[in-house]
Chains A and B, each alone.
Chain A
Amino acid sequence: MWTYIARRAIQASFTLLIITVLCFILTRFGSADPMAQYANNPNMSAADKEALRERLGLNAPLPVQYFKWLGLALQGDLGISFFSKQPVGEMIAQRLPNTVILMFTTEIVTVSIALLLGIISAVKQYSATDNVITAFSFIGFSMPIFFSALGLMLIFAVKFKEWGLPYMPTGADVWDKKDPLEYIQHMVLPVSALVIVQVAGYARFVRSSLLEVLGLDYIRTARAKGLTSRVVLFKHALRNAALPLVTIVGLDIPFLLGGAIVTESVFAWPGMGRLFWEYAQRGDFPVVLGVLLIISTAVVIFTIITDVLYTLVDPRIQFT
């Protein structure tokens, strides 16, 4: 197992190296000129600007800039934002916990609902309930996140307020991020928006994987032994059917880390996706590059963890 992990790790570091080159080139060219903010500043002479360019390291050849950045990044220094003048590492560290909390809550709620729906529609295959669940999951699957986000906002924040019902905060208001009650209140809508979109695919997956398992010989044996259908379902079938879910969840988590750009912007959630989006618009490349690096590293690491975990829980698969 350890040789397998070591080999994967070496492979992964190559991938990461390519990612850094790719991201560096894309963001370096994709960002607006960081000096643009000083263009109309009457207090700065051309010489001052030149000195600043030099100090920010913008005059060096591109490969030199890249290796300088990489060297510092490996030591944990992601540079300083052009606009907020704060260290990028600190800015990300501030936002990361909010995103992680949002994502894990979403993931837990999604998996629980998906298991429930998936089991119901697999056990009652082709019944009316199954058809309704299937229809809704197809719709959910085809839904962009801003559809559910804006819809929930319209109904539960705007219309409920109009109708004099207790309404949800939209995030546009000023709120105390340290107060746990307010924090949870502000989390309800973004989590629901994400769950609506995600649960569909998961439920479909649970359904088909459970149906596959229910058709196997050992289930028939278990039934023939006279076990109740409840025991067969939960003790025999579900265990094996839920296994592939490990892969799906494991591979989804890192994408969720950053995938919530839209949700976080719509609900003004102070997370990493919004940080990325705000600074990408301004062309602040140290921040953009920092977030990209963190997220793609998370993706690469989670992929390995998922593969190892899956091999551990499923004894039929061997490390190769």
Chain B
Amino acid sequence: MTTDIVSLDNTILKHEPVEKPMTPGQLIWRRFRKHRMAVLGIIGFGLLLLFIIIGSVLISEKDANEVDLQARLSPPSAIHWMGTDSTGRDIFARIIHGGQISLIVGTLAVLLSVGLGTTIGGLAAYYGGWVDSILMRFTEAMLSIPSLFLLIVLGKLFGRDVDTFTIFGSTFSGSVAIVILVIGITSWMFLARIVRANVLSLKEMDYISVAKSLGSSDMRIFFRHLIPNTMGAIIVSTTLGLAGAILSEAYVSFLGLGVQPPTASWGNMLTSAQSFIQKGSWWMWVFPSVFIVFTILCVNLIGDGLRDAFDPRSSRHL
């Protein structure tokens, strides 16, 4: 009997003190890894990136924009794996280059919206008073206009005459920059509210008053102490915002206000699909749509996993 208890004690004693306490980062990573769907999302997204990167190395953008009227509207075949569109451009090549554009637009737009949201929400909470009132009423006003309407109005506002421009050796239609700008300034509102709520509760904490009494400037407190502590919320809404931004790009381009041809984007590939679907050209619709849904699905799964991982109350799978 007694030996049993001793051996039980021994095993417990052996295990307990060895483990070092984990840093918050490690904890988050561990929770994230246990989230099976999120890991699937990462793998899916990685494969997609690989496909687009390898694809753009092998197939030049010139091929994607090459018009071949003889082969217009041909169904998938050995030469055109995903068929051709109404002007005979190869859909497989356009998926690759369109994907590049869609992902670039999504990423930059989300960075812009995160910058705006964090600044506006943070300023409103930190300064309070009339700054807060004005900024929050403005946020509310923007939130009350359904986003697709805002996107259309802003798309019309900025999207008239834009030149093409060149970055990293490739030429982009100016509409790409416009779309990034428009999506960025129509999607910062939710994050602004979250950041504001977080900063409001944080700024009452003792360590902020200590920092203040030690003579830290407003700027330093804001960027050094307040913002890093809301990083979890910011990262989660950046990820989920990326899905939203890719979707928004698809919507505006689908409506013809976004990225302008010949530059391909998954959204504008569907614009012409709409008119040809009546004639049964299913491949023009299926391939871009499937890529959009797959991408957004992966990003959403990652975002979901991150949200659970950053939530200190969620202890599941631990």
- A residues contacting B by CB (< 8 A) are 14-16, 18-19, 22-23, 26-27, 29-32, 138-139, 141-144, 146-147, 150-151, 153-154, 157-159, 162, 170, 172, 254-255, 258-259, 261-262, 265-266, 276-277, 280, 283, 288, 291-292, 295-296, 299-300, 303
Contacts and interface: CB of A to CB of B under 8 A. Distances in A.
Interface in B254-269: 254-255
Contacts of A258: 146, 148-149
Interface in B224-251: 243, 247, 250-251
Given A139-B293, A299-B144, 4 more contacts: A14-B137, A26-B154, A146-B270, A280-B153
Interface residues of B, number: 40
Contacts of B142: 22
A47 to B, nearest CB: 28
Nearest to B155: A30
Contact of B274 (A259, A266, A277, A296): A266
Contact of A154 (B37, B251, B285, B293): B285
A172 to B, nearest CB: 7
Given A141-B300, A144-B247, A158 B280 contact: yes
A111 to B, nearest CB: 20
Given A19-B144, A26-B157, A277 B152 contact: yes
23 contacts: A15-B137, A15-B140, A22-B141, A23-B145, A26-B150, A138-B301, A142-B293, A142-B296, A146-B250, A146-B270, A151-B285, A154-B285, A158-B277, A158-B278, A158-B279, A170-B278, A172-B278, A254-B146, A258-B148, A258-B149, A261-B148, A261-B255, A303-B144
Contacts of B301: 138
A57 B156 CA distance: 22
A292 B250 CA distance: 22
A15 B270 contact: no
A159 B280 contact: yes
A12 to B, nearest CB: 9
Interface in B17-48: 37
Contact of A150 (B146, B149, B150, B285): B285
B137 A283 contact: no
B138 interface: yes
Interface string B151-173: 01110111000000000000000
A288 B154 CA distance: 12
B297 interface: yes
Contacts, number: 126
A159 B278 CA distance: 9
B98 to A, nearest CB: 14
A18 B138 contact: yes
B278 A27 contact: no
Interface of B: 37, 137-138, 140-142, 144-146, 148-150, 152-154, 156-158, 243, 247, 250-251, 254-255, 270, 273-274, 277-280, 282, 285, 289, 292-293, 296-297, 300-301
Contacts of B285: 150-151, 154
Contacts of B247: 144
A143 B247 CA distance: 9
B300 A138 contact: yes
B303 to A, nearest CB: 11
A312 B41 CA distance: 41
A158 B148 CA distance: 28
Contact of B293 (A30, A143, A296, A303): A143
A296 B255 contact: no
A276 B152 CA distance: 10
A15 B251 CA distance: 27
Contacts of A170: 278
A41 B250 CA distance: 37
Nearest to A261: B148
A16 B141 CA distance: 7
A31 B157 CA distance: 7
